[in-house]
Each structure stands twice: as structure tokens, then as C-alpha cells.
Structure 1
């Protein structure tokens, strides 16, 4: 599937996805994640056109910056996997912060991450023993 804007919009319509995030909300969220990069060791990404079994990560640190790594409607090289490059915010179905970090003996403080996210606005969050998930779309 090509990832042009028309194809993305068609996929959103076909899957009957209801958006929960605007581009402005994405900018606030990404700014908050970057500001709290020391708190966040891993963040998994699910794209709307992929199966949930596909593993991708949102990659950022304290040096990630607006208008260099992420922009008004998209981000560049912040999501792992192929194709590599630009991703529009509307391609992201959810972000997930796992409690237990892969290949490390680190445990993420999901409650602290949740508080930082809630401090910037209202988001559709789901907290479990295993992870904190932030939804960008609601499925029927």
C-alpha cells in the first residue's frame, strides 16, 4: 500500500476509525514526551495500516526537536522499521509504553508517564499491569 494522503484517508474511512487526536494534540504530546525523555525508556507504535503484531518503536530523546524531527503534521525518522522516513500523525493508531523494557532490566513508571501526559490535556489512555496505551483512534 502506498502511504499517500488519499490512501491514508481511504483506509481510515474503510476501517471506520474515529480520530481522537488532532495535529495540535500530537505536537503537545511529542513536546511533553521529549521533555520527559529521561522518564521514558520505550514507546511502541501501532500504525493504522499494520497488524498489531508488527513491532515498531517511537525513537526520541532530550535532543529531539520541533521543526527538525517533528513538524505540524508529521514526524521524520522517529518511527522504526520500513518504510523509513516520514509518518503523518494520522497514520498512528496508538502509542504504548510497556512496564517491562525489552532487553533491559528496567521497569518504566507508567503512573508517572500517565501523569505527565494528563498534565497537557485529555487523552484516551488505558492503563494495565503490563502497559499504558494512548489511543489516537477509536475502533468501532
Structure 2
């Protein structure tokens, strides 16, 4: 059972998200599109090693923790991530302004951005920007 304080927090968070979303003119993602994308990432975890994200409510960049061992069959996956990010908090899909797939993982490893681009395109149409250093998946304009 949820406490009144927890329910109040959820209501306030929803209001803040809705207020911030009103500043964008177009959403390029849906929950079903997110689910298809995440399935593709988990199924190709050997190729997708690092994913960063920016929340609409702040300028902080976080990291998503998805790999081949990610369990993707629970109800919360229908609307967001629970603890699978560097903020260790519930993260709704609608809070994500964009994803970044950086070329450089660390000083010794890179990821193939062209391959990740092709994997994402297999899922459907997305707002993608590819440069030499990163692939950006845009969720809102």
C-alpha cells in the first residue's frame, strides 16, 4: 500500500512532467515504440554497450543500464524504466528528451554507431542524428 506522501510525490512528478512537455511541439516516441526499441537493444546488447539520456526536466545526462541480462517482461516496462539508470529512480519514457549512443565507451573501447543506427532503423522510423562522435535519438522537438 502506498503512503499519502508517496502518492503526493507521484502526483507532483506527473504535474512537473506535463508542464515541461507543454514546451515541446511534437513527440516522436510512443510507449509501444519504446518497447520495440528496448527489445532490439537488449537482443543486440553485444553491439549496444553504452546509452546516455537527457531528461526533459533537467540538463543532467544519465546512463541507461541495459544489457543481454536485462529482464524485460514486467508491467513497469510498459511505461518506463525502474532503476535501470544512473539516477536509480523510476524513469518514465515520456521524461526522456533524447538518447545518446556515444562512439567512445571508455579509453579502450568504442561502439559501432553505423551498426547501432541500422539496428534502430530495423525497428521503425526515429528522429536520428548521426555524427562521428555520437548517435542521437530525438524523442521531442
Matched, 1:40 2:44: no
Contact 1:45 1:79 in 2 (8 A): no
Q: Which is greater in Rg?
A: 2
Deviations 1:78-105 (A, max 9, x none): 1112xx2211100000110011113x41
* Structure 1 length-normalised TM: 0.86
Tell me if 1:58 matches 2:67.
Answer: no
Matched, 1:75 2:84: no
SS in 1 for 2:57: coil
**RMSD of Structure 2 on Structure 1 (CA):** 1.6
Partner of 2:36: 28
1:114 aligned residue (117, 122, 127):
117
- 1:20 touches 1:136 (CA, 8 Å); kept in 2? yes
Moved more, 112-121 or 61-70: 61-70
5+ long unaligned stretches in structure 1 = none
TM-score computed with the length of structure 2 as normaliser: 0.86
Give the alignment partner of residue 85 of structure 1, picking from 83, 86, 89. Answer: 89
Cα distance, 1:36 vs. partner?
A: 0.7
Tell me what 2:4 maps to. none
**Cα contact 2:102–2:133 (8 A) shared by 1:** yes
- Secondary structure at 2:105's aligned position in 1? coil
Q: Gaps spanning 5+ residues in structure 2: where? A: 1-8
Match of 1:101, SS state, is: strand
Asked if 1:11 corresponds to 2:14, the answer is no
1:47 touches 1:93 (CA, 8 Å); kept in 2? yes
- Partner of 2:110: helix, strand, or coil? coil
